[in-house]
Every structure is written in C-alpha cells, then in structure tokens.
Structure 1
C-alpha cells in the first residue's frame, strides 16, 4: 500500500516532542522497569492491531527470511533499550539520563559507516560534534560521578547503544516494508522478549492502581505511537544518523517537562547546551539535505 509523502523533518519534530514525555511518565510510575516497558508495548500492539489486521496483514507474505531476522533483532534491541533506560531513571535525573540516551551519533556514525558505507562531510561531522558538546554542557551541572547516580548514567549510555542498533537494523528493512507492518512486527517481538524477561525476573504483572494503568497507556500512545513509530516512518526518507541528531533535542523537552511536572530545576548550563544542540542539529540537517540534493542532480544529469 503506498504511503503518503510528507516532510520527514516536520514528522521528526513531532516524534521528538512526543518521546520527550517518556522519561516523565516512567519517572512518575512506581512499577519495575521491565513491567513498564512490557505494558507500554503491549498496549501499543493492541492499539495498532485493528489497522494492521484490516489493511496490512497481507504484506507479511512478502517478507524474506533475512528481513525477518533483521526485524527480530531490532525488536530484541528495542526491548533491552527500554529496560536499561527505564532502570537508569531510578538512579539518576531526567536530564542526565536523557542526555546520555540521546548521544546516538557517537554510535550511529560508526554503525552506518561500517554496515552501510554511509559517508559524511566534514561539516556534518563538525555539526554532530557541536550537538554532542551541547549535550555535555546540559549535563555538566547535573552529572554526579559517584555511587548509584554513576550506575544510572552507565545504564543510560548502554541504552543509547542498543537503540542505535535498533535503528540500524530498522533502516535496512524499513525501505521494503510499510511503517505499520514493520512497526507492528518490531513491537510484537519486543513485547514477547519483555514478557519472558518479566517472568524470569519475577516482576509482577498486576494488580496495579488506576494511575499506573494510565501511565502505561499514555506511554503507548504518546512516546511510542507518536514518537518511535514516526521515527520508523522517517527511516524510509532520512538516514539513521539524521534521526539520531534530531533526537538530541529530547533532553531539552524532557528537562522543561521535568521542571514543571517534577520540580527538577533547569540550570544555566542546560539552557546554553540546548541552544548549542539546536545549532548543531540545524547545520547537520542542512548539510545532509545539500548532499542529497547534489546526489539527486548528479543522477538526473547522468
């Protein structure tokens, strides 16, 4: 089924704003990390099922064994990304955790170069470096390199590596599958992995108070369906590295929400760092668009 072509950068912006709510919803929940991740994706699957079953299930016949392998791997990495990141929020602040978990260019540049031979100009690399510097500026006043806070920071960094692997596997498959089919399969695989993880860990699946179920459902709707699903849609039109750069905006949105909803203070370094991140993202996206236009003109001219 053909997909509607929209501006991928506008879609990315909506996705980033949506995922910025994720850390807040996880922080206010009192459930275990595996349980939060499981119900987040389970409710997402339930919400997507009617559309998938009615319009997209026939697409399953065209999936190759290789694509099934990539999709299962993407689901596995996404599941453990959620587990590690949600766990990190038990030990460190929203600002520190989101800054570390969105430092994906460090992994994405290496991954796209090694696996997809994607090349980057000096301007793009400098723009990425600028955005990463901005992330460190944001975290400068908040990082506590000691005790459990350090453990939380390490968990967030590992979660960052896993979500980059998830996006890299998805970039390969997404070009051949519709966003609904690809996303549904990945989320289903992640849900299965998380279910067995919760059972093995002995975390309880219920009962929970009403507020917890509300948090689970909101996590499914806002950061997942309006966040990660839009990132999956964008994979057909832009590279993993561009998405990783855009996601660097998440710490800004998450810090603002944490200030108003969780009373976490916003310090000067976060304001300055946010500006530096936005500047880096602007230069990176502009440079990539220039390269794509130049390549398209060369193909047309040739």
Structure 2
C-alpha cells in the first residue's frame, strides 16, 4: 500500500509544473488558490477530529506547524515564480535539489551517511540532470528563475523536515489542513502586499488551477504528508526526484510528446539511487499514520 500511495503522489506532483507553467494567472495567485482550495476540501474531515488532537498539541509542535506552513508558502512562492521565468525542466530539476538540503540537515544533526548511501544520492541526482539534459540557459531572466527554483528546494526541505516532527502528534488530515491554511494566509498577505491579481481569470485558467489543486496538492503533497509517518524526509525527497521523468512520460502519454532517450536513462539512474538509499537507511520511528 505504501508503494501505491507513493506512486500516486509522484504522479500527482509530476503534472504540477506543466499545469502551472501553462496557467495565465500570476504565480502568487496560483500558489494561493491551490493551497486555499485544498484547505477547504480537507476542512470537513480535519475539523471533525481537530478538537482532541489540537488540545494535546504543545507549544513546540504549534511553532513547528507554523514554520512548516511558512516554509511551504516560501516553496510555492519561489518555485511557481521560477516556472514563469525559466524552463519547466530546469525549474523542476533544481527544486528537486531539496534532497541535498535534507541530507545536509541530517549531517548537521550528526547522522552518519554510509558510502553506498552517498553513491545512491549521486546516482539519483545525476539521473535528474540526464532527464533534463542540463537545460539551464544563461539569460538573466532564466538565471533568476533558476535561483528561485533552488530557493524553492531549500524551503521544501525545511517543510519536509519540520513536518515529520509534527506528524508524531497530528493525523494527516489535521496537519495538512493547518499547514495548507497557514500557507494560504501567508500567500494571501504576499499577494496583497505585491498587488497580485487574485480574481477575474478566464474559465480555462480556473480549470487549470482546480486541476493542479486536485492533482498536485490533494493527491501529491497530501499523500507525501501522510507518508512522512512511515518514510524519512530523505527518502521522500528521493522519491520526488522521479518528478522530472514522470512529467516527461506523462507528456508523452497525454500530449503525444515522445520522451527523449535521456528520460529513460535518467529514470533508471534515479530508481537505482533510490533503491540503494532505501535499502541502506534504517526505518524512521513509527508515528501516527492517520
């Protein structure tokens, strides 16, 4: 079941880059509506069980939840903007660099990485570069987008690491409701501060925003939050390296865009690296799974 949920989550996030890049709404508006919409969809389930769970949530866990929400807002603000400035391939590859920051955090905590784990990480990152063809242009606009994608990866790493600690006390529905809600509030303030348009879009734009909310937010991020109960942030970050080849393969199926040979080579490298790392890392301590 865990493998199935992970596969659905990766399929969900794989469509997010192309969908958001093709949406004519401003980047901050897309980020706001996908989080606000997901929070509203989760609310009925979360509110039914929130009183008991929230009553037992200490000050430290509240602060961590708020930090996770702010980090998620930073991730979306940076990455969705990057998608508007640079290629989808480059933005997706660079945001997947979150694995580097998660591993660095583990090292700062004193965790020891076996040589095979390091080799697996290098294999997986190399696979992402092969998939994208190292598609990084040198225009000023593209470089700004690349830098924002890297920043988005940093925020994503903070979001995953902090989220795992909160998941020891909160169910998936309550945690995602709080995190998406906090994220939406932060993004709403950002939209107001920057004068970003939030309404008046075409029907097609609203449809694309709804699609990315259901696929990437509900079936992608929410399932990844659930998997934090049984997987470490490092393994989830490695799974997210499957997003670039996943997006390319989906484009081949639904858009008739035949993937380049590098997609298949990169996919093999990523899967090999993932297999090495997951086989060598000890499982995380069990936490509340639902």
- TM-score of the pair, normalised by structure 1: 0.88
Partner of 1:164: 157
- Count the aligned residue pairs: 286
Partner of 2:81: 87
Partner of 1:248: 241
1:45-124 equivalence runs, <5 A: 45-115=39-109, 117-124=110-117
Shift of 1:238: 1.2
1:268-279 equivalence runs, <5 A: 268-279=261-272
1:152 and 2:145 are equivalent in the alignment: yes
Going from structure 1 to structure 2, the CA distance change for 1:224 and 1:176 (only over 3 Å counts) comes to same
8 Å contact from structure 1 (residues 113, 119) kept in 2:
yes
Residue of structure 2 aligned with 1:287, choices 257, 267, 280? 280
1:23 and 2:23 are equivalent in the alignment: no
Shift of 1:272: 2.0
Q: Deviations over 1:53-95 (max 9, x none)?
A: 2233431111111111111011001011111111111122221
Going from structure 1 to structure 2, the CA distance change for 1:275 and 1:109 (only over 3 Å counts) comes to same
Partner of 2:27: 33
8 Å contact from structure 1 (residues 98, 254) kept in 2:
no
> How many Å separate the matches in 1 of 2:221 and 2:274?
19
Residue of structure 1 aligned with 2:222, choices 229, 232, 247? 229
Larger CA deviation: 192-201 vs 131-140: 131-140
- TM-score of the pair, normalised by structure 2: 0.92
8 Å contact from structure 1 (residues 40, 217) kept in 2:
yes
Q: Deviations over 1:22-51 (max 9, x none)?
A: 112101110111100000011101111111
8 Å contact from structure 2 (residues 65, 178) kept in 1:
yes
8 Å contact from structure 1 (residues 259, 265) kept in 2:
yes
8 Å contact from structure 2 (residues 72, 159) kept in 1:
yes
Residue of structure 2 aligned with 1:185, choices 170, 178, 201? 178
Partner of 1:4: none
> How many Å separate the matches in 1 of 2:30 and 2:266?
30
Shift of 1:123: 1.3
SS in 2 for 1:89: helix
RMSD: 2.1
Shift of 1:292: 3.8
> How many Å separate the matches in 2 of 1:16 and 1:57?
32
> How many Å separate the matches in 2 of 1:141 and 1:167?
26
1:218 and 2:211 are equivalent in the alignment: yes
Going from structure 1 to structure 2, the CA distance change for 1:138 and 1:118 (only over 3 Å counts) comes to same
Shift of 1:246: 0.7
8 Å contact from structure 1 (residues 112, 240) kept in 2:
no
Shift of 1:142: 2.1
> How many Å separate the matches in 2 of 1:258 and 1:196?
34
Task: For structure 1, list consecutive stretches of 5 or more residues without a partner in the other structure.
Answer: 1-6, 297-302
Partner of 1:203: 196
